[in-house]
Structure 1
Amino acid sequence: MSQIANISSKFSTAGLRDKTRGDKVIWAIVVVLSLVSLLVVYSATNSLAYKLYKGNTYVYLFKQIAFISLGIIIVYFAHRVNYTIYSRVAKMLFYISIVLLIYTLFFGTKINDGSRWIKLPIINLTVQTSDIAKLALFMYLSRLLSKKQHVIKDFKKGFIPMMIPIVVICGLIAPANLSTALLTGATSMLLLFIGRVSFKHIALVAATVAIPVIILIAIAGAYYDKEEGKMKELPAVLSAGRVPTWIKRVQDFMYAAKGEAPYQVQQAKIAVAKGGLFGLGPGNSEQRNFLPHPYSDYIYAIIIEEYGIIGAAFIVFIYMVFLFRSIRLFRKCPYAFGAFLALALSFTLVIQAMTNMAVNVGLFPVTGVTLPLVSMGGSSFLFTCLSIGIILSVARNVEDAEGKAENVKEELA
């Protein structure tokens, strides 16, 4: 009986390995961050759930379990798809994302003068269309980079065709979500640099983007009342859309030491200060009762408060390992499209994570980006899982190619 049990366990293990192919370290990272997410989201939403649901503190925990379960299913099925299919649908998905972004700007759900979401009928789920657009953009850029390597240094034939989709997508995202547009643009330029695009062309883009950023900083300084510690009244030309929000966030970051820092920044700093080296312990956060969005935008501050600098450093380490494994995958992938796609998706997730953490500790102006795979579930969480599934699809195909090469060597030997 024991022999039968051992044989069945071997078969089940082999079956599981066969079904979950690809980089095992990335799979482990998905599991670890999902577990961290469950712990921290439950802690961060404990008080909120108690107030809203008459003492039931498990509502958001069960919701997060559902999102994580769905996310892992998405990772699994995405990694089983041959990544070359994404190259075939990249162009169509890119055009669809443009339509969705335009629709969102005019007819989407408006929050704080910004329209970022559309609501899906029947399931009643709000989707941030910029997530779709980022995924489509990186698929399309990876396809272009793989096809234009022979003219990659040429300004008209190589550089311009790749800059057009970047400008279009970032330009449509920017009115409602400037931080996401800037991060998407920065990730795109990093991908172009790795794709051997001429450095002088990339430097030209960086200089062009720096002009409006410098102007925004100058306007923020000119319309800040240092005596009152607040923003002066803006002229009509600077009061359209989310421009006042951009100016206010720059002012808050520039003059926080001289004036009063924004409420959420103050509470995040208190959480970080309370955390110390080892933290207050799991579930013992005090700032969750005061910090806005402790389960999404400011979840890293809760991690520091409960797990200290050691816990915070562990999260940084996990994302760095993920980036390292993705770079390793880029170097091993025999086909350009898969290599560029895996690298682009990993870069955007890690850059988003670093931005979220920098905001939480006061090193970056306030943005609305979440911590990938850790912040409470939503459409962004599911698209993160889809991105990781695509990365694992590339890893699975690399693994298969290496396995075939080993078999050929054994046959020749």
Structure 2
Amino acid sequence: MPPLSRADTSVLGRWWWSVDRVALMALAVLIGIGYVLALAASPGLSAHLTDPRMLAMIKQIVFLVTGGLIMLGLSMLSLRQVKLAALGMGIVFYLLTAFTLMHGTEVDGAKRWISLPGFTIQPSEFLRPAFIIVVAWCIAEARRTPGFPGKRAALCVFLATIALLRMQPDIGMTFLFTMVVFTQFYLDGLEMKWVAVGAGLVVLAGIYAFFFITHVHTRVMMFIHPPKGSQAQTALMAFGNGGIFGLGPGEGQVKRFLPDARADFVFAVAGEEFGLFFCAFIIAVFAAVVLRALVRLLAEPNLFVVLAAGGLIAGFGLQAFINMASSLSLIPTKGMTLPFISYGGSAVLGTSIQMGFLLALTRKRHAGDLQ
């Protein structure tokens, strides 16, 4: 394939010279790391295709490939198309999230999944990127259209969403949504007194969760006084066992004692099998995606783009931080996946949509494309 010229006016040519290629390559690297860790979890070449572990590996690779294609497709959208796509997705997946309360599959006391033939879907993973863009749209429209109650509409969307998530319950996703909306209002110029009020409410919500939500209380107490053989201690053993260079793909031993090795504690698996340098590389790639997006937004004149892209990258970065920090016992454990790397179709596809929207929003645009 010949290299694309800057004079190329085709859809592909315009996309290539306007998209943030550095962020695109960093995201591709994360998908590649997810692929490597999916292979590392393989039971071996001699395993039959009916082996559940082999089937899980194949499914994860299919999800990663599909997610990459979705991300590329969404990155080609215009701002108007991003808004319309997010609005349609938001309505559909809000209804599906509500559907889980009545007919969802219950796991560990939470109804977050819908069972379909051969797989399950977690609608809130797909609701998240749509929610972030709709909230940004409402806030930005309040400034663009005098008299439009955009901020009140954004708060209504936020309250309706977290009420739904709280009923599942999904405390982690509720916290993530809350912090993203807080970030978006801050980027819009929220006064410091309201920042203080918001921070106080988050602290009060945390105190309430500690005293009145059993599994939150349990996880915090296990973080303060970790019992022998806990997941957090086992994860630290995995990092120690891997050392600087790791034991090699598929050679991890401690990971066998981690019940969520492929999902919540996949970072510990990476540490055991590939070592300290590889984990540092993963952190650097996540940091590169976040910092690249923030640098891109510094010169962005469109408030909607700043709020939407800022919210998307804040959610992405915070999710990665929570997963890696909990694996390292820096914070209490929380069932939150590592974007593109943890096992799970809904998580991979939801993050792919989120990053596809981000790439579309941060593309270079002409003056006539700012609406």
User: Could you say which TM-score interval applies, normalised by the shorter chain?
Assistant: 0.7 to 0.9
Equivalent residues of 1:45, 1:288 under 8 A apart: no
Partner of 2:252: 285
Q: CA deviation at 1:157?
A: 5.7
Equivalent residues of 2:41, 2:57 under 8 A apart: no
Equivalent residues of 1:296, 1:375 under 8 A apart: yes
CA distance in 2, matches of 1:264, 1:384: 25
Matched, 1:201 2:194: yes
**Which residue of 15, 27, 32 maps to 1:30?**
27
Partner of 2:357: 390
**Which residue of 401, 406, 409 maps to 2:366?**
401
Q: Read off the aligned partner of 1:102 and give its amino acid letter.
A: A
Matched, 1:249 2:216: no
Matched, 1:356 2:314: no
Which entry has the higher C-alpha Rg, 1 or 2?
1
CA distance in 1, matches of 2:274, 2:86: 41
Matched, 1:75 2:75: no
- Counterparts of 1:221-300 in structure 2, within 5 Å, are 243-256=213-226, 260-261=227-228, 263-300=230-267
1:17-52 Cα shifts (integer Å, max 9, x gaps): 6554511111111221122111112223437x9599
Q: What SS is found at the alignment partner of 1:250?
A: helix
Q: Read off the aligned partner of 1:340 and give its amino acid letter.
A: L
Q: What SS is found at the alignment partner of 2:114?
A: strand
TM-score, scaled to structure 1: 0.79
- Evaluate the alpha carbon distance shift between residue 165 and residue 19 of structure 1 in structure 2; reply closer, same or farther with a 3 A threshold: closer
Equivalent residues of 1:277, 1:310 under 8 A apart: yes
Partner of 1:228: none
Q: Read off the aligned partner of 1:172 and give its amino acid letter.
A: L
Q: What SS is found at the alignment partner of 2:336?
A: coil
Q: CA deviation at 1:58?
A: 4.7
> Structure 1 unaligned runs (5+)?
1-7, 220-237, 405-413
Matched, 1:190 2:186: no
Partner of 1:329: 296
Please provide the CA RMSD for this pair: 3.2
Equivalent residues of 2:38, 2:61 under 8 A apart: no
Q: What SS is found at the alignment partner of 1:369?
A: coil
Matched, 1:141 2:138: no
Equivalent residues of 1:29, 1:318 under 8 A apart: yes
Partner of 1:368: 335
TM-score, scaled to structure 2: 0.87
1:312-354 Cα shifts (integer Å, max 9, x gaps): 1111111111011111222233322222212211111111011
1:286-315 Cα shifts (integer Å, max 9, x gaps): 123221121111100011112222211111
Q: Read off the aligned partner of 1:72 and give its amino acid letter.
A: G
CA distance in 2, matches of 1:58, 1:158: 49
| Identity among equivalent pairs (%) | 24
- Evaluate the alpha carbon distance shift between residue 57 and residue 174 of structure 1 in structure 2; reply closer, same or farther with a 3 A threshold: closer
Q: What SS is found at the alignment partner of 1:9?
A: coil
**Which residue of 34, 37, 41 maps to 2:38?**
41
Partner of 2:126: 132
Q: CA deviation at 1:385?
A: 0.7
Q: What SS is found at the alignment partner of 2:96?
A: helix
CA distance in 2, matches of 1:348, 1:187: 6
- Evaluate the alpha carbon distance shift between residue 289 and residue 254 of structure 1 in structure 2; reply closer, same or farther with a 3 A threshold: same
Query: In the comparison of the two structures, how many residue pairs are matched?
Result: 364
Partner of 2:58: 62
Equivalent residues of 1:90, 1:139 under 8 A apart: yes
Q: What SS is found at the alignment partner of 1:46?
A: coil
Equivalent residues of 2:86, 2:129 under 8 A apart: no
1:215-250 Cα shifts (integer Å, max 9, x gaps): 443x3xxxxxxxxxxxxxxxxxx6xxxx32222112
